[in-house]
A and B are shown apart, each in its own frame.
Chain A
Amino acid sequence: MSGLTYDVVVVGAGIVGAACAEECARQGLRVAIIDRDVIGGGATAAGMGHIVVMDDSEAQFALTRYSQQLWQQLRQELPADVEYEPCGTIWVATDEEEMAEVRRKQNYYAQRGVPTEVLDPQTLERLEPNLRKGMAGGLLVPEDVVLYPPCAARFLIERAQGAGAKLHLGSSVSQIGNGLVRLADGTEFSAAAIINAAGAWASALNPGVNVKKRKGHLAITDRYPGFIRHQLVELGYLKSAHSTSADSVAFNVQPRKTGQILVGSSRQYGAEHGEVDTGVLTRMLQRAQEYMPRLAELSTIRVWTGFRAATPDKLPLIGPCLGDPALFLATGHEGLGITTSLATARLLVDQIAGRNPAIPIEPYLPSRVPAEHAYA
């Protein structure tokens, strides 16, 4: 067998693998990136592509904020096809109960240095005239961004390649661990560190890794420039998106740089196949149309599905795998992989290289989560 030796082998060329490879290569490590398909072909291609702060937990906030700042630093270097669009997010409140949540959020973000603006109904209507009339208001988070993830992943991989990393696409990995990555065709790579960044398929490579597939649907319209101007998210989002058992839908739309409107979102467990699920799609689009009645008449050109990598506590797994100190996990990012990819890469390479991390890493260490099935 041909022996290929690297400092780090990254399995998965999605946004997280790409970011890890880039960070490693920049540190002068010899890196190989392996993917069974194409760059950014999994959740990276299927997802919405936002860089957002979230406050579901302190750890989630810390990771999203840290990563958002890393994206801001990278902004000037991003090529045009990454379509970096600092449109901001508006959390839309339908009633007084949700306005209370708006104020709570504003307070939370203010204490942590994130600028926000509470919108009264008139301001919201002026900013987003296609929202249903009679909303209670909203919270504008102006530093949130949308971008086009497959090109962002390619950009990171190209930077890694510029620093000497080797890319192997169309190569299925059959086995990883103990410093060895074996491809289906028998090729073997040996590495001081292996990073499993295979997203929802991470547990197929390392049984016991506690990530589950969480299926999502998205739809995109033809080009209607100016129809919406911000990413819009309902405030029921938290309640529904993080209910860990039932299927759920939520209103979440984005203006793409093309003028297209990306419409989400849905979350399903236990769905293994990528086919469009008409029932879920219907509910998701109904929800969107409730918030935005004029969506009804827009030409919708494509619908697709994808699989998020979900963990039980809604935080990613970033760090060494139990039982194999040379095997690192960078997966479990659920719906926030684009946002948190850069921070994930930093925190992981901090661990590999023995650097001091910028934020506490404990909440993301794989050792915090009990493995789903013990290694039999």
Chain B
Amino acid sequence: MSNITRDQFDVLVVGGGPAGLAAATCAAECGRHVGVVDDNPALGGQIWRGEVGKAASEAVDWYARLRAAGANVLCGARVFHQPEPEVLLAEAPDGPLELKYKKLILATGARERFLPFPGWTLPNVMGAGGLQALVKSGLPIAGKRVVVAGSGPLLLAVAAYLRQHGAEIPIICEQASWGSLVGFSLALLRQPQKVRQGFALRKQLAGISFAASSWPVSARGERAVEEVVISQSGKNKTVPCDYLACGFHLVPNSELAALLGCRLRDDLVQVDDYQQTSVAGIFCAGEPTGIGGLELSLVEGRIAGLAAGGSAPAAKPLFAEREKLRKFARVLDRTFSLRAELRGLPLPETIVCRCEDVTCSRLAQHTSWRAAKLQTRCGMGPCQARVCGPATGFLFGWAQDSIRPPIFPTRFENLITFSPEAERSEITGGRG
């Protein structure tokens, strides 16, 4: 059996993206013993993936501050269980970690929302952020044709990034209408920072065609995607490509918060002014409290870090900035809400649950998530419904089951590393 590593922190931060980095840094600067645990091979989350060694990145400043403040970083470690209050278990390459904490900050980020359409399971049909992550992880993209589609500001950032790395972007398809995008642009004008980013982005995207009210109808190809049929202004049009990068905005990673008993509303973790959840001593910052982007994640992370670090009064001056950014988050929600037509994309034979290959027509026979799950295995695979859950939520209006450990698949032996002393004596063995 692999050995368990035990560690103890004043403040433990789950997630090393912008919110987690800011939170860990601020808590450590309060003089607390801080740990940051993250599933990815390096810090930075998705947005700063691969920027550890790069100059002129905001990420680098945070890494430096975090190091200076003396926080412990545990990468490649995925939290899967809270066996008892104030203890988390994580799976790491060299064996499980038992992490004790006094205060906990959840900065678990968001994932892309994927919607099923014919051909979406073909190789090289990926998330927009998904393809970007692969390119950041070393995938050469120069000379490849990438159709970028779905919804949300991430599409533009991804298109710009891919183009900068030599990809050809035939088109960006945004399902939201021009009408809602204009409203979004006006909201951007109230955020000088966002305006600057917007201008930079426009320059990077110059010459790429951008279609609003447009979405992928199907992806086709033999071994991998070769062309995408897109709906644009009500007409279908075929675009040849090497990759389809497609994600429909973001959904929060709120499973850990749910496991810990934190109050959620519409899958969003509910927090007070100091980013504290309904469970005392557990804070949450960034996307799980509402999809709001980098700046909001940073400020929420700073507030959570200061509050968990024992310097709550120092967090107060940040409230105004957070409020401004939250307004922007609400505009994001409105702008990129999904249009009803997308519910019609999957054909009866289109797979919805990719782990168990459950088709749309099989799901459509059922009236609840639980019935569908028990009868078809939808959501019973290793992704634990992280892909098909949000999809069926949109397609059928189904709410998910309650959360149970392990919240990610883990090695069998990792589930037996923790045994509360008190209970050991009460349970008899098989021969007992």
Contact = CB atoms under 8 A, between A and B. Distances in A.
Question: A–B direct touch, CB within 8 Å, in complex?
Answer: yes
Interface of A: 37-41, 45, 81, 150-151, 154, 169-170, 219, 221-222, 234, 236-237, 239-240, 243, 246-251, 263, 275-276, 278-283, 285-287, 289, 295-305
B380 interface: yes
A248 B381 CA distance: 29
A296 B412 contact: yes
Contacts of B139: none
A249 B411 contact: no
Interface stretch (B123-131, B217-225, B366-374, B387-395): B366-374
A298 B406 CA distance: 14
Contacts of B405: 276, 278, 303
Contact of A287 (B83, B406, B419, B430): B430
A295 B412 contact: yes
B411 A300 contact: yes
A280 B430 contact: no
Given A282-B415, A299-B410, A302-B384, A236 B431 contact: yes
Contacts, number: 138
Contacts of B341: none
A303 B403 CA distance: 10
A304 B430 contact: no
B1 interface: yes
> Looking at B84, B371, B414, B419, which has the most chain A CB atoms within 10 Å of its CB?
B371
A251 B430 CA distance: 7
Contacts of A234: 430
B193 interface: no
A297 B413 contact: yes
Interface in B293-318: none
Interface in B380-432: 380-382, 384, 404-406, 409-416, 418-420, 422-424, 426-432
A263 B413 CA distance: 13
Nearest to B415: A285
A303 B412 contact: no
A40 B415 contact: no
Interface residues of B, number: 38
B375 interface: yes
A297 B411 CA distance: 5
Contacts of B384: 301-302
Contacts of A281: 415
Given A283-B419, A298-B412, A278 B84 contact: yes
A302 B432 contact: no
Interface of B: 1, 81, 83-84, 367-368, 370-371, 374-375, 380-382, 384, 404-406, 409-416, 418-420, 422-424, 426-432
Nearest to A263: B412
Nearest to B2: A296
Given A41-B370, A285-B412, A295-B412, A151 B375 contact: yes
A38 B415 contact: no
A283 B406 CA distance: 16
A279 B424 contact: yes
A221 B371 contact: no
A296 B382 contact: no
B431 A240 contact: yes
A34 to B, nearest CB: 15
A243 B432 contact: yes
Contacts of B84: 278
Contacts of A278: 81, 83-84, 405, 418-420
25 contacts: A38-B370, A39-B371, A41-B374, A150-B375, A219-B415, A236-B430, A240-B430, A243-B428, A247-B428, A248-B432, A249-B430, A278-B81, A278-B418, A279-B427, A282-B415, A282-B418, A283-B419, A287-B429, A289-B412, A289-B416, A295-B413, A296-B412, A297-B412, A299-B411, A303-B415
A132 to B, nearest CB: 13
B368 A237 contact: no
B428 A150 contact: no
Given A151-B375, A305-B404, 19 more contacts: A38-B374, A39-B375, A240-B428, A246-B427, A248-B432, A276-B404, A276-B405, A279-B420, A283-B424, A285-B415, A296-B1, A297-B411, A298-B411, A299-B412, A300-B410, A300-B412, A301-B406, A302-B384, A303-B415
